[in-house]
Amino acid sequence: MIRIENLCKRYGRFEAVKNLNLDVRDGTVFGFVGENGAGKTTTLSILATLLRPTSGRAYVGGEEVTRNPSAVRRQVGYMPDSFGVYDDLTVREYLAFYGTAYRVSESLIESRTRELLHRVNLEDKVDAYVNTLSRGMQQRLGLARSLIHDPPVLILDEPASGLDPRSRIEMKDLIKGLRDQGKTVLISSHILPELAEMCDEIGVIQNGSLVACAAVEIVTARASGQRMLGFELLEGGRLLGERLRSNPLVTDVVVQGEQRVEVLFSGSERQQVELIRELSLAGYALKGVSEVAGSLEELFLRLTESDARSEQIVQPENALPASRVV
């Protein structure tokens, strides 16, 4: 449903999106995760036909965004990361304004307004002025707005940003409901655990490139309960690496030289203490062991990288150079 091929976007000499490849299957929710400035909004804006790529192609439902933007717009509901609301419009008028812009008939606008406001739980606000709504309500109205022309594809840029915990849960439930309805959803966030709860697949974007991509079960199963441990030694890093590779609680080993080895460890704290004792008794010249602080994104990247090394990875030709685990 969504396909991106070798997409590049430069702002002047700065390359915000670099050779990005991505595939989102029909009826799935794809989470696009990356730090601030990674290139998420740029990519989503290109898909929403609001920005022209410097090179590469992007397709929605088979239509290329630069060749046939109006056909793409009909298929896409886009919710930007920040959107203004018109002070002097009521909720009903606001949805009618966007419905008319999408050439939805008056009678359909009326029935969809009822149905959408019910869905986003704003029925009792139909005559309220949009600027009087809370942030969470405005975000839900933004979602309703993006659905007014009943598009098969939703592109949501950080839909839960700035929301309190309760509103975030409401937004998550709404997005899960869209998938149940058969919509294809591409959603961005800089918080991986949040995305993991509602997505089928996750892709990590860093400095404009998709660096990893995996089914969400793999991300959550692998990333939960694992810690990254760093072993500092006087010498013998390679030997220690070999020994740790045969430990069933160690899922990944990176030997960084004779004096440092990093591992992903899935055991308990007690098992961690036992492992350190066992290694000291076996004569390894350990100076110290510490937990390596790392974001879930880093952990995910390490996990997908380690799969690439063990050749369990499937690299679809259209998703290179990202690591993809299926």
Ligand X SMILES: Nc1ncnc2c1ncn2[C@@H]1O[C@H](COP(=O)(O)OP(=O)(O)OP(=O)(O)O)[C@@H](O)[C@H]1O
Residue type, 3: R
Which residue's CB is nearer to ligand X, number 46 or number 253?
46
Nearest-approach distance from CB 208 to ligand X, in angstroms: 7
Nearest-approach distance from CB 129 to ligand X, in angstroms: 28
221: three-class secondary structure by DSSP: helix
Instruction: Identify the residue among 5, 81, 93, 200 touching ligand X (CB under 6 A).
Output: 81
Host H or E run for residue 7: strand 2-11
Provide the b/e sequence for 59-95 (b: ≥16 CB within 10 Å).
Answer: bbbebebeeebebbbbbbbbbbeeeebeeeebbbebb
Which residues from 275-304 bind ligand X, rule CB under 6 A?
A: none
Q: Which residues pair with 264 in a beta bridge?
A: 228, 252
**Residue 261: CA count within 13 A, CB half-sphere:** 27
Site string for ligand X, 177-206 (x = CB under 6 A): -------------x----------------
Nearest-approach distance from CB 120 to ligand X, in angstroms: 23
Which residue's CB is nearer to ligand X, number 16 or number 253?
16
Q: Where are the alpha helices (DSSP H) in 102-148?
A: 106-119, 135-146
Which residues from 28-47 bind ligand X, rule CB under 6 A?
A: 34, 36-42
Identify whether the C-beta of residue 164 lies closer than 8 Å to the C-beta of residue 88: no
Nearest-approach distance from CB 7 to ligand X, in angstroms: 12
Counting contacts by CB under 6 A, is residue 56 touching ligand X?
Answer: no
Binding site for ligand X (CB under 6 A): 11, 14, 16, 34, 36-42, 81, 190
